[in-house]
DNA sequence: ACAGACTATCTATGGATATAGTTATTGGCA
DNA sequence: TGCCAATAACTATATCCATAGATAGTCTGT
């Protein structure tokens, strides 16, 4: 007889926030608000979640034994809950990291719209492409800044992470972070180039001869 | 006093299937099953949805006046429901096409994992990169095939679409489709190149000296 | 002393999505 | 004739995710 208790099994497929939270908590213990702030800023453009998802998920993860919550005083009367990853949490994260992702089907509104762009007014079509460029330019800047931080040793999270592991592993940790952001930068550049070609195409198609 | 009836307003943000269905139904009337099949195959890698979402959404769209369902006999005893887009449906689609997309936050499991790849065994890390390559190679082939179909005039959906519009608009329709798939191909090539660099990086970092 | 911004957490609701079924008919093929 | 894959449609469940609020304490500057 198999007995499974509280097995909220997240399939490799759905990352569902859980592993993103575990990833951040491998670096250091944090409160829900800390995690929320990370998702709002830096990390937020690889993974994002609102606080209303984070707090309940943290409680669920605690009851699944992946985290340990601890009340910490905050000012004279306030308090906050700091979550620390447990050994089981580390193992769960490691197991996920050792499992291949299941790639889910694409769901790509920008390209869906692009395929039907003849339905839009020329100005609206241009505006979409411009919005695409603006969006990815912002990402590009953020990610370029990330690379700069990595190279300058100016990333607080990365430095904390490095201080917790032996020196001979620093290289790998830094290299994979850099590799990730390089990929995101290249992708952003591609998206910008694509949308710029889109703008040219629109001009060409709607040129009054 | 404002009275709003059945205003299931999908924000520009959430595409939510509805506009993907409208897009396909601008070409010709189809049954839920037809639409499902399209999402399973060709179109499925720009937008995907299981039938269990499609059927209820079609009914909702009908009650919102965007579609008109019509019972069609199917064999001696069977029947099926064919949905045709209404004028209101066309207007809704056009309005959506003339509105800028709101770009939602990234949620990118592959890059999230890549950023923490030092947690994976070297073989698992390699396997992830290989899976990334395999995934995008499959997309690449599909999309390349799409381009070929477009160029050869061998795309049934595109031909149906073209036969419903005046000749002077054919160029635009074809050009935007081609542009879309070109973008997807370039993206797939970028992802493959990235993952190949990942493989190199892993070899380099875990080389026994 | 108080305003206002920020920290910290929680609830509720609705819509999106995935998974796993059930039911029934059709049409081709052995 | 009988089997089976494909067609056609529906239901149920659970989670995911976004939006919008509610509540309450802290910290800083005026």
Q: CA B176, CA A115: separation in Å to the nearest integer?
A: 6
End-of-domain residue from the set A50, A74, A97:
A97
Residue B69 touches chain A, beta carbons under 8 Å: no
CA distances to A54, A65, A164, A181 from A68, rounded to whole Å, are: 15, 7, 19, 31
Q: Three-state SS for A62?
A: helix
Domain annotation covers residue A199: yes
A179: Cβ contacts below 8 Å, ≥ 6 apart: B114, B117, B197, B198, B201
Residue B115 touches chain A, beta carbons under 8 Å: yes
Indicate whether A191 and A169 sit together in one domain: yes
Indicate whether A78 and A142 sit together in one domain: no
Indicate whether B126 and B194 sit together in one domain: yes
Indicate whether A116 and A199 sit together in one domain: yes
Our measurement of CA A184 to C1' D20, in angstroms, reads: 32
Domain annotation covers residue A10: no
Domain annotation covers residue B13: no
Domain annotation covers residue B11: no
CA angle A143, A46, A152 (to 5 degrees): 35
Q: Which CA-bearing residue is nearest the C1' of D7?
A: B33
Question: Is the Cβ pair A111, B183 closer than 8 Å?
Answer: yes
Indicate whether B125 and B185 sit together in one domain: yes
Per-residue flag: B33 CB under 7 A of strand D: yes
- Residue A73, Cβ density class (10 Å: 0-12 exposed, 13-18 middle, ≥19 buried): exposed
Indicate whether B88 and B123 sit together in one domain: no
pLDDT of residue A127: 97
Chain D nucleotides reached by a protein CB under 7 Å = 7-13, 15-21, 25-27
Indicate whether A93 and A124 sit together in one domain: no
Among B7, B166, B144, B165, smallest CA distance to B88 is for B7
Indicate whether B113 and B199 sit together in one domain: yes
Domain annotation covers residue A12: no
Indicate whether B135 and B179 sit together in one domain: yes
> Which residues are bridge partners to B67 per DSSP?
B85
Indicate whether B120 and B77 sit together in one domain: no
Q: Measured CA to C1', what is the nucleotide nearest A72?
A: C8
Report how many domains make up chain B. Answer: 2
For residue A61 the two structure tokens come to 């993860």
Structural contact between residues B82 and B32, judged by C-beta atoms closer than 8 angstroms: no
Q: CA B27, CA B128: separation in Å to the nearest integer?
A: 39
Domain annotation covers residue B104: no
Domain annotation covers residue A168: yes
Residuewise pLDDT in 10s, chain B (209 residues)? 333 333 334 444 456 799 999 999 999 999 999 999 999 887 777 888 999 999 999 999 999 999 999 999 987 778 899 999 999 999 999 999 999 998 887 788 999 999 999 999 999 999 999 999 999 999 999 999 999 999 999 998 999 999 999 999 999 999 999 999 999 999 999 999 999 999 999 999 998 76
For residue A30 the two structure tokens come to 């944090």
Residue B175 touches chain A, beta carbons under 8 Å: yes
Measured between CA atoms, the residue of chain B closest to residue A91 is: B119
Residue B205 touches chain A, beta carbons under 8 Å: yes
Q: CA A173, CA A29: separation in Å to the nearest integer?
A: 19
Q: Enter the DSSP assignment of A31.
A: E
Per-residue flag: B34 CB under 7 A of strand D: yes
Q: Which residues of B touch A127 (CB under 8 A)?
A: 100
End-of-domain residue from the set B44, B71, B97:
B97
| ipTM value | 0.91
Indicate whether A86 and A115 sit together in one domain: no
Taking a contact as any Cβ pair under 8 Å apart, which residues of chain A between 82 and 111 contact chain B? 93-94, 97-101, 103, 105-111
**Domain CATH number, residue A88:** 1.10.10.10
Domain of A43?
Answer: 18-97
Task: Assign A9 a pLDDT band (cuts: 50, 70, 90).
Answer: very low
Q: Which CA-bearing residue is nearest the C1' of D16?
A: A16
* Each residue's pLDDT tens digit, B81-115: 999 999 999 999 999 999 999 888 778 899 999 99
Q: CA A84, CA A155: separation in Å to the nearest integer?
A: 21
* Each residue's pLDDT tens digit, A128-157: 999 999 999 999 999 999 999 999 999 989
CA angle A179, A51, A87 (to 5 degrees): 60
Q: CA A10, CA A96: separation in Å to the nearest integer?
A: 10
End-of-domain residue from the set B63, B97, B131:
B97
A149: Cβ contacts below 8 Å, ≥ 6 apart: A155, A158
Domain annotation covers residue A13: no
Q: CA B138, CA B49: separation in Å to the nearest integer?
A: 19
CA distances to A79, B27, B143, B146, B171 from B43, rounded to whole Å, are: 51, 13, 10, 10, 21
Indicate whether B39 and B88 sit together in one domain: yes
Nearest-10 Cα torsion for B193, B174, A119, B140: -20
Our measurement of CA A60 to C1' D12, in angstroms, reads: 24
Q: To the nearest whole percent, how much of chain B has pLDDT over 70?
A: 92
Q: Measured CA to C1', what is the nucleotide nearest B71?
A: D8
Question: Is the Cβ pair A180, B19 closer than 8 Å?
Answer: no
| Radius of gyration, alpha carbons of chain A | 22
């Amino acid at each position: 007889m198999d007995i499974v208790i509280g097995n909220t099994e997240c399939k490799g497929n759905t990352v569902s926030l859980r592993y993103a939270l575990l990833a951040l908590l491998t670096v250091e213990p944090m409160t829900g608000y800390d995690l929320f702030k990370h998702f709002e800023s830096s990390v937020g453009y690889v993974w994002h979640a609102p606080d209303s998802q984070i707090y309940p998920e943290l409680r669920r993860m605690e009851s699944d034994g992946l985290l340990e919550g601890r009340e910490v005083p905050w000012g004279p009367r306030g308090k906050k809950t700091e979550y620390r990853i447990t050994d089981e949490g580390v193992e769960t994260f490691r197991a996920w990291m050792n499992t291949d992702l299941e790639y889910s089907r694409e769901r790509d509104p920008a390209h869906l719209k692009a395929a039907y762009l003849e339905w839009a007014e020329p100005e609206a079509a241009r505006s979409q492409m411009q919005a695409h460029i603006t969006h990815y330019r912002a990402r590009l800047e953020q990610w370029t800044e990330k690379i700069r931080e990595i190279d300058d040793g100016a990333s607080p999270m990365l430095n904390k992470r490095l201080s917790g592991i032996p020196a001979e592993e620093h290289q790998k940790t830094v290299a994979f972070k850099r590799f990730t952001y390089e990929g995101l930068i290249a992708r952003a550049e591609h998206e910008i180039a694509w949308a710029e070609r889109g703008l040219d195409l629109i001009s060409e198609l709607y040129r009054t001869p």
